[in-house]
Structure 1
């Protein structure tokens, strides 16, 4: 079976498609992922075949004559697209293929006009229901190398800190000082604002790849990163979001995390209610159909 995937120029959205692409390839199907020229290298990092679409808006695949032209030439039986790549559905219609739409953490549950809609967000973390088929979320962040420091067993609980706003370092470091866990943050010392005190339990590292680090963590602190929040949920980790986002608010509503200030952050790894709720969401995600199961249903 030939499967054409349409990905907008967003690594997070491409990574949401990658597990399904792998499931299709390992089942013996021919898979190609189409994207803009500036995004081809990112597609190749998934180990999939890339199709370069020379014309159209670089930011998204809202429309693309080039995608439809390639579909006419290659004649796929299935076209899979991200919610921000509606050109995929149009290309499917042009060649009589099955149109599959894949939703992620940033998408509304509206299935659009696709034939099949797959939702990688578990039902408990959706603001509202819809006709989409839930599929297990498989966290993927691209190729990673396990750093040497991570090969040694942690002496106490480990918490991942992921921030893009440097002004947050000070409040977070003050809040976690003397906490009974190790806070790991991938950042150069130069990123920490002058005058900020570095507690003994904070560890700055060159690389902290979530794919390697999350299985060793007891909790996660972030600034609303949807991909990291959903990955933490899949690993059953309590989390604190220091910035508002749709997925962070829904995680807080389920009792698996908190949003807002750093107050109470020291108890993040010791809160039994948070841990039980986080484990419940992890079990919910684990019980959903794996991508390979969905592939078998597509074939039938």
Structure 2
């Protein structure tokens, strides 16, 4: 079977597709991943075969070149989380498959909708697909080979203004807060904060007790898959659902003191069990081939 994946120029969206792409290749299917020229290098980093599309916007809302390549290659299925993928599938009468990530909403455009978000976190879920967190190639850092003295919490922020209130709020919390970032000038580093050169989530998350972020939905979904309570410092639709499931907190920095609550741990473990019960990518491959 020939399968064409259409990847918008967003790393998190590409990474959502990668475990399924690997499962298809491992099952012996011919897989190619199409994307904009500036995104080809990112596709190649996943170990997949890339097809360069010279037109279309970064979100691949539409792309004549994708349709043109589909006519040339004649895929049996087009898998995407971009509208252009559905259009390309329709143009060559291939199966149109949509993969939903945490930022996506279901619709009826595709023949098959696969959903990596646990059903309890989605109002109208598609066919479940187990989320396998993927963040690209990583190397286990040397510091991670030493056992943490306290419960480890991964901190990942895009907005540096959160560092000061977070550091102030954790003064009475018995955790080791790990972050890889350039801190604002003049900010005093608390003893419980471990500043490192690299903290790749794929390597660090399995050693953590919780996660703190400011709305990174890819990291939030990975925390769900690992069964980790999380604090989202900004509001998002996905973060609100995690909070409603008693697996996370959102809003104020001082909520970090509650991350080790047993109620949150129980909620996070329930979501992890839900993810684990979903069909693995290799199990879904058969549905694509039918």
User: Following the alignment from structure 2 to structure 1, what is the Cα–Cα distance between the partners of residues 250 and 109?
Assistant: 34
Residue 132 (structure 2) aligns with: 138
Runs of 4+ in 1 over 6 A off after TM superposition: none
TM superposition score normalised by structure 2: 0.98
Residue 295 (structure 1) aligns with: 285
Matches within 5 A, 1:214-225: 214-225=205-216
**Is the Cα contact below 8 Å between 2:66 and 2:88 reproduced in 1?**
yes
User: Following the alignment from structure 1 to structure 2, what is the Cα–Cα distance between the partners of residues 180 and 169?
Assistant: 17
Q: Any gaps of 5 or more consecutive residues in structure 1?
A: none
Matches within 5 A, 1:164-175: 164-175=158-169
Residue 151 (structure 1) aligns with: 145
User: Following the alignment from structure 2 to structure 1, what is the Cα–Cα distance between the partners of residues 263 and 68?
Assistant: 54
RMSD: 1.0
**Is the Cα contact below 8 Å between 2:210 and 2:259 reproduced in 1?**
yes
User: Following the alignment from structure 1 to structure 2, what is the Cα–Cα distance between the partners of residues 164 and 92?
Assistant: 36
Residue 61 (structure 1) aligns with: 60
**2:177 aligned with 1:183:** yes
**2:152 aligned with 1:161:** no
Residue 192 (structure 1) aligns with: 184
User: Following the alignment from structure 1 to structure 2, what is the Cα–Cα distance between the partners of residues 296 and 151?
Assistant: 39
User: Following the alignment from structure 1 to structure 2, what is the Cα–Cα distance between the partners of residues 125 and 281?
Assistant: 9
Superposed CA deviations along residues 38-65 of structure 1, whole A, max 9, x for unmatched, are 00000001100000011222x2111111
**Is the Cα contact below 8 Å between 1:161 and 1:222 reproduced in 2?**
yes
**Is the Cα contact below 8 Å between 2:223 and 2:230 reproduced in 1?**
yes
**2:114 aligned with 1:115:** no
Residue 6 (structure 2) aligns with: 6
**Is the Cα contact below 8 Å between 1:35 and 1:53 reproduced in 2?**
yes
**Is the Cα contact below 8 Å between 1:167 and 1:193 reproduced in 2?**
no
User: Following the alignment from structure 2 to structure 1, what is the Cα–Cα distance between the partners of residues 203 and 138?
Assistant: 8
TM superposition score normalised by structure 1: 0.94
**How far does residue 90 in structure 1 lie from its aligned partner after superposition?**
1.2
Matches within 5 A, 1:31-110: 31-57=31-57, 59-82=58-81, 85-110=82-107
**How far does residue 32 in structure 1 lie from its aligned partner after superposition?**
0.2
**How far does residue 263 in structure 1 lie from its aligned partner after superposition?**
2.0
**Is the Cα contact below 8 Å between 1:177 and 1:200 reproduced in 2?**
no
User: Following the alignment from structure 1 to structure 2, what is the Cα–Cα distance between the partners of residues 185 and 278?
Assistant: 22
Q: Any gaps of 5 or more consecutive residues in structure 2?
A: none
**Is the Cα contact below 8 Å between 1:8 and 1:61 reproduced in 2?**
yes
User: Following the alignment from structure 2 to structure 1, what is the Cα–Cα distance between the partners of residues 56 and 109?
Assistant: 22
Q: Equivalent residue of 2:138, what SS?
A: coil
Q: Equivalent residue of 1:5, what SS?
A: strand
**How far does residue 178 in structure 1 lie from its aligned partner after superposition?**
4.1
Superposed CA deviations along residues 64-117 of structure 1, whole A, max 9, x for unmatched, are 1100111111111111011xx21111111111111101110001122x311101
Matches within 5 A, 1:261-300: 261-269=252-260, 271-300=261-290
